[in-house]
Structure 1
């Protein structure tokens, strides 16, 4: 796998790098095309990143369309909603028009919600989904979006959006998620992760990149564009180039 792995000094630095690299990529894309697309993630890392991104200068947010890689099956104002997190930290702060916000309908029955979002993607992109910037995270078990180890969704190639189920320990088990064929269309994929708890999964990812194992779900992401990991020192243990 041709991935760039950037090691930063702290979780705060990971969040800053996620925001700053996203802003640079959006500016460059906006210079070349009338509208650009940004696909967001959930989890603990994005909140400070999205607050910083919302204050980025010289990003014409009126031409940025926002999508999501996954969503919990909850109402849009629920504390566990990825949309609610983004609205609080990024969408309102940046003043992104409602018409540019393409949220997953977590309040719908899961199978119905998946079909609705597939239709939304088809209406916007047509035959090929190509996000200009895609954000992903990694769980302690190596999952990304809501693609969990052992899930049938890992081998899905015909659907763009599916209903998945998180492990029993999750607060909300029913999820909607994009599938690998959609994630792999990204022009730039930024994966942000930090912390000691995720170190074993990250080691499995590196082994998979070296061809030693199959690896966890995140290791299967193979975008057509660039793949950049932003990780902290605690997670990396000196396995990659240090930017901080």
Structure 2
């Protein structure tokens, strides 16, 4: 068992409660009346058309943006501040830091001693141990994305929010990193934005679609079995088809 799993298993991660959330820009309402509860330890996949408000919703949950109405709070009744690791669509690696330094940058910014052993373990898991001292300019786009994933997992937070974290990876690397994320986040509460129905069905305990104008959240789709599921799992194939129909209907 990894150090991350051992540490997080000692404490039950908080769930996320979104209540009557709305976001407006001037006269335009992006979404409204969003209500959802992500239970402790659940991995939720959020899908929807481009521009529907998925990334904005994730940023509000992360505390990086303010809603026009509504609240986001932990299921324990406490603020989520300080308990979230967030990964956006861009890798945002610091160009003057090498890969290992980028992975541990959160600790460095907090004035903490970096956990080099944990960082190197993660770099090995994402296939970057041989590039630990390389600068981001020397990496491919997929390598940069893997470094950003390692940086997110390095934080060992009980809540992890990810915005299309595997989008820049080739199919084989994506499957491997999906498996790794599912293993390392098993004792976390996780919310993943993805445009890939197969990815959602492999990783999510439940799937939710954001759609409409203004956007609303549909009823959760539950998939049996534990992630990561095999791509040819009958339940995965069935749910993938259901998701494709839903997404096509709301395009």
Q: TM-score range by the shorter chain?
A: 0.3 to 0.5
Return the TM-score normalized by structure 2: 0.33
What is the TM-score when the length of structure 1 is the normalising length?
Answer: 0.34
| Larger Rg, first or second structure (1 or 2) | 2
